[in-house]
Amino acid sequence: MSMKSPARDGGVCRRQWHRTRREHLLQLTGELPTNLCLDEITLTICCRYAESLLKNPQVKKYMAREHPNELRKLERILGEFESACQVENAPGVIDPPRKNRIP
């Protein structure tokens, strides 16, 4: 079975993807999130801010000295976040160029 382009399949793939995503969200939470996009943006902003703080040598030194467990947890969370971002932007995934993208 050959793959059809989105233009040729009449939107079947997109509808199936949305239906599957909706089913998984319902299965996980029991209800559809009403503000998923807002939550993703908030998470991205918070993680990027935490990364910028940890790039400051004084902040990282203080965290390592006074709160080593929290620093390890934060670094693990930021690593997981970065891995998730890389998976979404993996090679072969068409991602349109964005203006004003947060680095």
What are the domain boundaries of the chain?
12-88
Q: What is the pLDDT of residue 21?
A: 76
How would you label 17-27 residue by residue, b for 16+ Cβ within 10 Å and e otherwise? Answer: eeeeeeeeeee
Q: Which two tokens stand for residue 95?
A: 């991602």
Query: Mean pLDDT, to the nearest integer, of 72-92?
Result: 79
Query: Mean pLDDT, to the nearest integer, of 83-100?
Result: 56
State the first-to-last Cα distance of the chain, in angstroms, to the nearest integer: 40
Query: Mean pLDDT, to the nearest integer, of 91-97?
Result: 47
Enter the pTM of the model.
Answer: 0.50
31 pLDDT more than 60: yes
Query: Mean pLDDT, to the nearest integer, of 57-84?
Result: 93
Sequence-separated (6 or more) residues with CB below 8 Å from residue 44? 102
